[in-house]
Structure 1
């Protein structure tokens, strides 16, 4: 792996060279993660070592606006990174996806100077961000089954700042995060404030989510805040309690997170397919065939034509998902560049494309990972098996975080009635 400074990859000679280095760096990290992905999944430890690998490659600092002192990249590149990392280890892909979405939060809710200062600190101090800026407890994904219900986070004015109280569940990152980005209601005005909190503060208590079905290395858990001081400079933005005052650009925040997680789901599907293909090719003597005339397939890996048919269907499903995800990614990238000039119509188009990408990709990820368990004969996950159950478990947990009914209803209403998806910060 090329030498890099403490905060970013080695400075390239041109912008083009900088864009070209990310795919290579990402591939190296993904290959490294893939080597011991199964062992790490089985151990279920907090992803501290994995985070160190990401930092060494400079990936946490990737999605910051390009500049001579930062060297960040754009949304398309970030999504490509998420997808490739997720193919090797989807837990780490989700960790990175949520970090990238949170990195952009000051752009949605704060002023430009505030955003610039925040992003510079993220890069300079190599922070990994975790948290949730959704504006109701219902927006927070459960960290684990059976967890106690969330309480609304509240910021109470106290002198020159605020005190943060409450508890929330977070789907990723809280066991290793350097900073938490959380949304909370101001008890005085009712406005929704986004705050930056140090998880090392004595008033912050983290309860890791143990024995998750999938995404075991994402660092999920619940966090309690007991009178944690929040100074004015720790506020990253303010949103009026009246959603009618939301700008179209601000409501890209939940869409950015949803699309980032779509790339994680697509990575799961592609990673499962690639590993299953390698197993099929290496199968001694090929797979048993039901064809009455097996001669044309006898010398090929996977000699059963029905196996070939199954792979063809699954590859087509993955390509279909990728084809739907691409225009959604392009549309969101354009919307982010428009900033506060983004209009209601443009935002509606982005919302529908993201919803379509989410619905198609989640379905494909579940279909592919389930069918691969059958094709490889590893559904029972005996000791020493290649661990294809982890792809199914990870896809299951990731896609369960949001019902597909919401996405499909929004698409149908827009197509049939021309209705714009609501301007909201709800996930």
Structure 2
């Protein structure tokens, strides 16, 4: 079942209930097959959840216990270490079913990448085992009221074998249903660390104040961090993943998953439009066609949508392969190539997500705007989610790379 996002006094959300141990994915083929198997169940009730602001609690449990949240754990630690081409395909399938559920994976998988890049051997053994058992990470990264998204006020101080963290986070996708909350906090040198708190830690409060008109099921609310004590072995030097002298593809990985979500939204919107045009839409008064699906202008429009979606998905596959190469080579050139390939994919997935969800109504007609159908959720979800990391800057870094030979900046938004 789904649950209301507003739970408890003042929207304070309790930690998730105990779940079965997760399945362990063994290879790429299994990951894709599992995604396709569970997607119909995740998509059931998506319209009602969106309309009533319900959080997909049971659906999220199906997703995380399927083993897909552990699919990128390295083989050396018991995981499948699937390719990022496979990651992109899985996220597209899940996001086509419900893009809010797809987004809830994004920060979790990005954290797996940071653990791999910057964690110690002991931290990897500890946290990867937790992930394979089915533990979910929830984001506590962004803040508001600062000049840019990279300017943070949350800090920690060391006290014995622990650190004490204080701050306030917003847009905390996934924290509402997390087992572990990865809090980005600065040390006294201004470097960013992942301080990983248990969801039940004293002083950690998750509040649902998410009020956006799209991606409602993410519950991307606020996290209060008041003297939260975290063992030092759960504190990861995330800043090391972005050193120019030893770069990693972590920034590309984060952006790649965002792009895959948008491709999933576009694919679902196009499919919904096609179904509506075939079954409900009437031919225009001046059209010689008996059915709307035989109207030449409509056929042309669908052809264009499919061409651009295919191009976006192809660029996602190229970006996935570039990320895999950067992980293996771990050089400045391979990381930059992965960032550029991902930026290209992000541009096209953003544009086709906006175009397809907007043209849904133009092609399907007035009847498609009936609120009971919930078709507007595709546009609202696309419009909200594509605001992550604006593509005007993606065009800029791609152009600068080819024209001036400048590599993209190393941070989670490029």
TM range (shorter): 0.7 to 0.9
Query: Cα–Cα, structure 1 residues 326 and 138, in superposed 2: closer, same or farther, change >3 Å?
Result: farther
> What per-residue deviation string (whole Å, max 9, x for no partner) do you get for residues 297-330 of structure 1?
x3x6623222111111211221121122221111
Alignment pair present for 1:401 and 2:388: yes
Mapped pair 1:131 → 2:132: no
Which runs of 5 or more structure 2 residues have no equivalent in the other structure? Answer: 1-19
- Report the equivalent of 1:26: 35
For the Cα contact (< 8 Å) 1:65–1:74, is it kept in 2? no
* Residue 281 (structure 1) aligned with residue 289 (structure 2): no
Q: What is the alpha-carbon distance in structure 2 between the residues aligned to residue 277 and residue 208 of structure 1?
A: 36
- Provide the residue aligned with 1:214 in structure 2: 214
Q: Distance in 1 between matches of 2:246 and 2:218?
A: 32
Counterpart secondary structure, 1:175:
helix
Q: How far apart, in 2, do the equivalents of 1:94 and 1:303 lie?
A: 36
Alpha-carbon distance, 1:158 to partner: 1.7
Structure-1 residue corresponding to 2:224: 224
Distance 2:182 2:227 in 1: 16
TM-score relative to the length of structure 2: 0.87
1:350 to 331, 338, 343: 338
- Cα distance in structure 1, aligned partners of 2:116 and 2:84: 13
**Aligned counterpart, 1:146:** none
* Deviation of the 1:45 alpha carbon: 2.0
Aligned residues: 394
Q: Partner of 2:302 in structure 1?
A: 311
Q: In the alignment, which residue of structure 2 is the partner of 1:195?
A: 195
Partner-residue secondary structure (3-state), 2:175: coil
Which residue of 1 is the match for residue 16 of structure 2?
Answer: none
Q: CA RMSD in A?
A: 2.7
| Structure 1 residues 138 and 169: CA distance shift in structure 2, 3 A | farther
Query: 1:144 maps to what in 2?
Result: none
Q: CA deviation at 1:7?
A: 2.2
Q: Distance in 1 between matches of 2:388 and 2:367?
A: 23
| Alignment match of 1:360 (pick from 338, 348, 370) | 348
**Does the 8 Å CA contact 1:246/1:424 hold for their aligned counterparts?**
no
Farther off after superposition, 40-49 or 173-182:
40-49
Matches of 2:60 and 2:296 in 1, distance apart? 43
Q: Give distance in 2, aligned partners of 1:240 and 1:326.
A: 27
Q: Which residue in 1 is equivalent to 2:234?
A: 234
Match of 1:329 in 2: 320
Q: Which residue of 1 aligns with 2:359?
A: 371
Displacement of 1:292 after TM fit?
5.6
Look up the SS of the partner of 2:211 in the other structure: coil
Q: CA deviation at 1:101?
A: 1.4
1:164–1:226 Cα contact (<8 Å) kept? yes
Alpha-carbon distance in 1 for matches of 2:399, 2:244: 26
- Shift of the alpha carbon at 1:75? 2.4
2:93 is aligned with 1:80:
no
Which residue number in structure 1 is paired with residue 246 of structure 2? 247
Structure 1 residue 419: Cα displacement: 1.4
**How far does residue 334 in structure 1 lie from its aligned partner after superposition?**
1.7
Under a length normalisation based on structure 1, what TM-score does the superposition of the two structures give? 0.84
Per the alignment, do residues 237 and 292 of structure 1 end up closer, same or farther by CA in structure 2, a change over 3 Å counting?
Answer: closer
Summarize deviations over 1:391-412 as a string: whole Å, max 9, x none.
1000101111222121111111
- Assess if the C-alpha contact under 8 Å between 1:291 and 1:304 holds in 2: no
Cα distance change on mapping 1:209 and 1:47 into 2, 3 Å: farther
Rounded Cα–Cα distance in structure 1 between residues aligned with 2:376 and 2:172: 20
Aligned match for 2:254, one of 250, 253, 257? 257
What is the distance in 2 between the residues matched to 1:379 and 1:259?
A: 35
The residue number in structure 1 matching 2:264 is 267
Return the alpha-carbon distance in structure 2 between the equivalents of residues 173 and 378 of structure 1. Answer: 35
Distance 1:109 1:378, change over 3 A: farther
CA separation in 2, counterparts of 1:331 and 1:135?
A: 31
Query: Which residue number corresponds to residue 7 of structure 1?
Result: 22
| Matched residue, 1:62 | 71
1 CA distance for matches of 2:219 and 2:394? 27
Report the 3-state secondary structure (helix = DSSP H, G, I; strand = E; otherwise coil) of the residue aligned with 1:184.
strand
SS class of match (2:210): coil
Q: CA deviation at 1:29?
A: 1.2
- 2:49: which partner in 1? 40
Gaps of 5+ in 1: 142-149
The 1:69–1:415 alpha-carbon spacing in structure 2 relative to 1, beyond 3 Å, is closer
